[in-house]
């Protein structure tokens, strides 16, 4: 049987078996594997057990392995084949975000259903429907179809699925280091990213880094009455808003000295490609109720979102925030501030530059305390690596549209860990859409994303098997 | 018996009866009359009942009268004396602030005790010890001593005690309007202010006004992931901090256009008097852990605190404020902002100027919603009114130090209501100290403030009785 005929049989099998694929996804979605809340530790363990049992049916030796936190699933091809087949490490995560605020969900988050989107699309609704249970199951189901049709997988495979991605993978990274010999492969595959749009497949070829800091400004040694002290006593909210309010100039540039050091402009040919993508405010911002790009005025919106660094205050609190009013000058006020970094920016230097910026602006009576939440450098992947080229061809075949290579504004810190600890480049393929509400109430995954996602991976596995040897 | 001999008998009686005075205060302090929390409505009623019963023993006809909120106590001299005696309206409030955060109290807030301050002072500790139960009881106990010694009070008196001062008196003001004929008097007395310092008595002769506003900035129609949208989507915390951060210039002046319109400089002679008071940062700010006056650089600290308008952000909240981190761009952020006003500033104009200032600085994609919490004009009392002169002499006699006339930075909106609705000028005498922790955990009242406060009022009552007729 020709490779093409064999692939067609695999794809036909996926279509025929799709209702069962969906039922298997629902079984996984019903497990309340919220990693952030210790009350759900047993559910996390149950998700790992379930996945190990399921993945074992693909002909892999699968087991649940402990970490210092929630366990990880590791599954491997039984014995390395002699033929020098490519060996991929597939990574996913079974843990999900908390479901608060629960009252904004239209139905219980762990009772998944297929529903009708107002615009006619069929959608799978539930916590984890996209991030990352739905996405990782596209890969598992693609493997299942290959196994069913051909009796084996077309490439050598190691699957690792962790349970703490949503809480920063802090136990998984040491696990990776400890098991690095056992997790060796030729390259990594991750399904945790998005399409360009609902019709256009995409591979993510860069990821922004992240520096997440917390700053607390302290002034008086206790809360004060603003009638008695107002006008004479320093107010830490005044100091904090003045400092944070100065982070951007009138052109949307971040004002921290040295912030843009090392940041390069896009090569002209890539900028030209991105211009052609025509990511307009109308298209990207209108669905969220906005119309004006908020970043550097002299940059395209797509640059602001992916190739340029950014800063957001993610939270701020100080003084009285309940109902009604209280005439208080609080003793302290604090904010959570994060920076999205691009290639050339050093997270350590950026964090220091931010803290220096704050400290330099403190009036004499105020002090600042800082807290370090997380840090990851930006990642720029090799556009010309062979597995990426193979995946790109396969995606274009499945979707009938040229695959877009684009930079993501988000951070997937594990990609840097794979590079630095295991020496692996990663191919980032995913089928998420901008309106999936990940991390939010009413998370969904398009039924089409799930179905064509499985078909896409089936094609990618075939293409990887045919990849020219190095 | 001469007036002086009679007064001495009253003062001796106060000293002899002081333990009982203290026990009566404790009985009142044990009643949990928190007006802000509906769960304590019965306690508020109990405080009113208790006071009416107690005040009736002074020879006044006392009753609890309903309002649309917590009830008020009204007590009146039985029949107007024929002799054209002066008639005072004494005002106080029996309600207290909530006790949160309870864990910061060293002992239960409604179990008052006399404790030792680290510096050796004896202090009465408990919610309401100063504000306003301790203060109003100095007046009640002074009346009791006069009644006990002479069989009657030296002046005609109406006492009104409300139960909603801490929540803005919004039901008491209509009550005042409805009962204004019944509450007529020659002038008003209030005991809800402070001493100049622990050794120096004071009468407050001006009060700042208050405009308290809330602003909510809205951007996107939902919370966004800062990885996907960061750099391109507007962040309402960025907008809010930029607007609030611009409220002050480098010299501490408020930048809202027109804010200082109508504000007058102090007359040179008063400025000279205030300079002599020598209110240094060392003396006023050091106890709260500060050292640098935060207001207009070209003004004395005492001006910043009392004769100059001020602005404070009393609360701010937006985005994720829990433990750890969340990469969110929130849909909205809000702040509570208040202004202390001085004579010449119109609260309506100031509120509008603030809102115009905010609105003018909104980027295209943001909207602002405002909420009006309260509003009161500044009050400047007549320094030369006779009851004030009488009280000043009496205080100086009791404390052996010249009584200071000073401007308070705080607002007592009822003073404007007395002037506008009842046509009454108010004499503001009180024995609070800067370290009383009113509205805060571990509220206290110096035992000496309570004791000499009673003696002070006894002297003031005597002095008012001897006041030259108009």
Q: Predicted confidence band at B78 (pLDDT cuts at 50, 70, 90)?
A: confident
Q: Does residue A132 have a cis bond before it (omega within 30 degrees)?
A: yes
Residue A186: closest CA among A437, A409, A470: A470
> In chain B, which residues have their Cβ closer than 8 Å to the Cβ of A208?
227
pLDDT score, position B131: 97
Residue with tokens 């009550």: B175
CB within 8 Å: B231 and A294: yes
Interface test with B, best of A193, A213, A219, A227 (most B CBs within 10 A): A227
Q: Which tens digits make up the pLDDT trace of A379-397? A: 988 877 999 999 999 999 9
As for the ipTM of the complex, it is: 0.81
Average pLDDT over residues A249-273: 92
The reply to whether residue A244 touches residue B237, judged by beta carbons under 8 angstroms, is yes
Using CA atoms, how far residue A306 sits from A299, A302, A340, A395, B228, in Å, is: 11, 6, 9, 22, 8
Beta-carbon contacts below 8 Å between A and B: 307
Predicted confidence at residue B211, as pLDDT, reads 96
User: What is the average pLDDT across B257-284?
Assistant: 90
The answer to whether B245 contacts A241, with C-beta atoms less than 8 Å apart, is: yes
What is the rounded distance in angstroms from the CA atom of residue A140 to the CA atom of residue A20?
A: 13
In the prediction, which pLDDT does B84 show?
Answer: 81
A358: pLDDT strictly greater than 60: yes
Asked if residue B82 has pLDDT above 80, the reply is no
- Per-residue pLDDT tens digits for B104-163: 999 999 999 999 999 999 999 999 999 999 999 999 999 999 999 999 999 999 999 999
Residue of A nearest to B166 (CA): A326
Across the range B391-409, mean pLDDT stands at 93
Res B317: pLDDT: 98
Q: Is a pLDDT exceeding 90 seen at residue B454? A: yes
Q: Residue A228: its chain B contacts at CB < 8 A?
A: 194, 305, 408-410, 434
Backbone angles phi, psi at A136, to 5 degrees: -70, -30
Report the pLDDT value the prediction gives residue B408, as an integer from 0 to 100.
87
The better pLDDT of the pair A154, B268 is held by A154
Taking 70 as the threshold, does the pLDDT of residue B469 lie above it? no
- The answer to whether the Cβ–Cβ distance between B228 and A316 falls below 8 Å is no
Nearest CA in chain A to B341: A227
Q: What is the pLDDT of residues B163-182, one digit of tens each?
A: 999 988 989 999 999 999 99
Share of chain B above pLDDT 70, in %: 99
In B, which residues are within 8 Å of A308 by CB distance? 231
- Comparing A162-166, A351-355, B53-57, B269-273, the range with the smallest average pLDDT is B269-273
Residue A445 to residue B148: CA distance in whole angstroms: 83
The rounded Cα B320 to chain-centroid distance in angstroms is 34
Nearest alpha carbon to residue B395 among B350, B339, B349, B458: B458
Among the partner residues B212, B231, B313, nearest to A319 by beta-carbon distance: B313
Least confident range from A94-108, A266-280, A362-376, B217-231: namely A266-280
Q: Do A316 and B321 touch (CB under 8 A)?
A: yes
Are the C-beta atoms of residues A210 and A304 closer than 8 Å to each other? no
Question: What pLDDT band is residue A406 in, cutting at 50, 70 and 90?
Answer: confident
pLDDT at A305: 94
Q: How far apart are CA B261 and CA B350, in angstroms?
A: 10
At residue B83, the pLDDT reads 67
Nearest to B317 among A221, A229, A317 (CB): A317
In eight-state DSSP terms, residue A74 is E
Q: Which residue of chain B comes nearest to A210, CA vs CA?
A: B227
DSSP E strands in B5-120: the ranges are 60-65, 72-77, 87-93, 113-116
**Minimum distance, in Å, between the CA of residue B155 and any CA atom of chain A:** 33
Judged by CB atoms closer than 8 Å, whether chains meet at A245 and B245 is answered as: yes
Q: What is the pLDDT of residue A458?
A: 98
Contacts with A409 from chain B: Cβ below 8 Å? 227-232
Written as six digits, the tokens of B171 are 């039901």
Q: Please answer yes or no on whether B244 and A226 come within 8 Å at the CB atom.
A: no
Q: What percent of chain B has pLDDT over 90?
A: 84
Instruction: Please report the pLDDT score of residue A81 as a whole number.
Output: 55
Whether residues B319 and A329 touch (CB distance < 8 A) is answered with no
User: In the structure, what pLDDT confidence band is assigned to residue B425 with cuts at 50, 70 and 90?
Assistant: very high
| Bond from prior residue into B101 cis (ω within 30 degrees of 0) | yes
Task: Using the predicted structure, report yes or no on whether residue A469 has a pLDDT greater than 70.
Answer: no
**Minimal-distance CA residue of chain A relative to B301:** A232
Compare CB distances from B232 to A295, A325, A411 and report the shortest one's residue: A295
**pLDDT mean across residues, chain B:** 94
User: Does A466 score more than 70 pLDDT?
Assistant: yes
Contact criterion met (CB < 8 Å) for B233 and A288: yes
CA-to-CA distance for B331 and A101, rounded, in angstroms? 14
Strand partners, A123: A115, A446
**pLDDT for position A121:** 96
Q: Could you give all domains of chain A from N- to C-terminal order, each with its CATH number? A: 3-207+378-465 (3.40.630.10), 209-263+309-376 (3.30.70.360)
Q: What is the per-residue pLDDT across A169-208, written as a single tens digit (0 to 9) for each?
A: 989 999 999 999 999 999 999 999 999 899 999 999 899 9
Greater pLDDT, B228 or A313: A313
CA closest to B246 among chain A residues: A242
Q: From CA B302, how far away is CA B308, in angstroms rounded?
A: 9
Query: How large is the average pLDDT for residues A120-130?
Result: 97
Cβ contacts of A75-83, under 8 Å, gap ≥ 24: A75/A157, A75/A158, A75/A159, A75/A160, A76/A157, A76/A158, A76/A159, A76/A182, A77/A153, A77/A156, A77/A157, A77/A158, A80/A156, A81/A156
Q: What mean pLDDT do residues B39-53 have?
A: 98
- Chain A nearest C-alpha distance from B292 (Å): 7
Tell me the CA distances in angstroms from A466 to A457, B17, B295, one per residue in order: 14, 103, 74
Query: What tokens were used for B359?
Result: 């609105």
Question: A426-456 burial, b for 16+ CB within 10 Å, e for fewer?
Answer: bbbbbbbbbebbbbbbbbbbbbebbbbbbbb
Cβ pair B245:A246 closer than 8 A = yes
Question: Does the beta-carbon distance from B313 to A227 stay under 8 Å?
Answer: no
- Confidence (pLDDT) at B80: 54
Nearest CB to B340 within list A210, A231, A293: A231
CB atoms A363 and B292 under 8 Å: yes
Instruction: List chain B residues with CB under 8 Å of A240.
Output: 241, 316
Average pLDDT over residues B230-242: 97
Of B220, B233, B325, the CB nearest to A212: B325
Residue of A nearest to B244 (CA): A241
CB A404 within 8 A of CB A202: yes
Residue-averaged pLDDT of chain A: 94
CA gap B50, B70 in Å, rounded = 14
**A315/B329 CB distance under 8 A:** no
What average pLDDT score do residues B213-225 get? 95
Residue of B nearest to A321 (CA): B315
- What order of strands is seen across the sheet that includes strand B444-446? B113-116, B122-125, B444-446
Test mutation, A35, A231, A366, chain B, max B CBs within 10 A: A231
């Amino acid at each position: 049987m020709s490779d093409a005929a064999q692939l067609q049989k695999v794809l036909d099998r996926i279509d025929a078996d799709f209702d069962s694929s969906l039922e298997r996804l629902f079984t996984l979605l019903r497990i309340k594997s919220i990693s952030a809340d210790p009350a759900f530790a047993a559910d996390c363990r149950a998700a790992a057990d379930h996945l190990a049992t399921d993945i074992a049916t693909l002909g892999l030796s699968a087991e649940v392995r402990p970490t210092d936190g929630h366990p990880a699933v590791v599954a491997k091809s039984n014995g390395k084949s002699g033929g020098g087949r490519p060996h991929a490490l597939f990574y996913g995560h079974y843990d999900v975000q908390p479901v608060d605020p629960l009252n904004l969900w239209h139905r219980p988050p762990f009772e998944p259903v297929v529903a009708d989107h107002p615009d006619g699309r069929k959608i799978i609704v539930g916590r984890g429907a996209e991030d990352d249970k739905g996405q990782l199951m596209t890969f598992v189901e693609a493997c299942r179809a290959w196994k069913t049709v051909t009796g084996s997988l077309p490439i050598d495979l190691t699957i690792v699925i962790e349970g703490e991605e949503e809480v920063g993978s802090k136990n998984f990274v040491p696990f990776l280091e400890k098991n690095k010999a056992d997790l060796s492969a030729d390259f990594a595959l991750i399904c945790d990213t998005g399409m360009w749009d609902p019709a256009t497949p995409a591979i993510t070829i860069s990821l922004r880094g992240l520096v997440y800091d917390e700053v607390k400004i302290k002034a008086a040694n206790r809360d004060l009455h603003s009638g008695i002290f107002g006008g004479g006593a320093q107010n830490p909210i005044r100091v904090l808003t003045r400092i944070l309010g100065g982070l951007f100039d009138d052109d949307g540039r971040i004002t921290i000295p040295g912030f843009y050091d090392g940041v390069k402009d896009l090569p002209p040919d890539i900028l030209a490609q991105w211009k052609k993508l025509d990511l307009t405010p109308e298209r990207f911002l209108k669905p969220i109720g906005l119309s004006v790009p908020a970043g550097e005025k002299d940059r395209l919106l797509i640059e602001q979102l992916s190739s340029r660094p950014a800063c957001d205050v993610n939270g701020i609190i100080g003084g009285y925030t309940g109902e009604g009013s209280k005439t208080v000058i609080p003793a302290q006020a604090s904010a959570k501030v994060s920076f999205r970094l691009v290639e050339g920016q050093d997270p350590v230097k950026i964090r220091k530059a931010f803290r220096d910026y704050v400290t330099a602006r403190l009036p004499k009576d105020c002090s600042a305390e800082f807290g370090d939440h997380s840090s990851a450098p930006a990642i720029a992947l090799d556009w010309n690596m062979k597995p990426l080229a193979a995946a790109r061809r396969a995606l274009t075949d499945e979707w009938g549209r040229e695959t877009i290579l684009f930079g993501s504004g988000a951070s997937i810190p594990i990609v840097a860990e794979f590079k630095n600890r295991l020496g692996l480049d990663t191919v980032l393929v995913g089928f998420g859409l901008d309106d999936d509400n990940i991390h939010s109430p009413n998370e969904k995954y398009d039924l089409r994303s799930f179905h064509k996602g499985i078909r896409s991976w089936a094609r990618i596995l075939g293409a990887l098997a045919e990849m020219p040897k190095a």
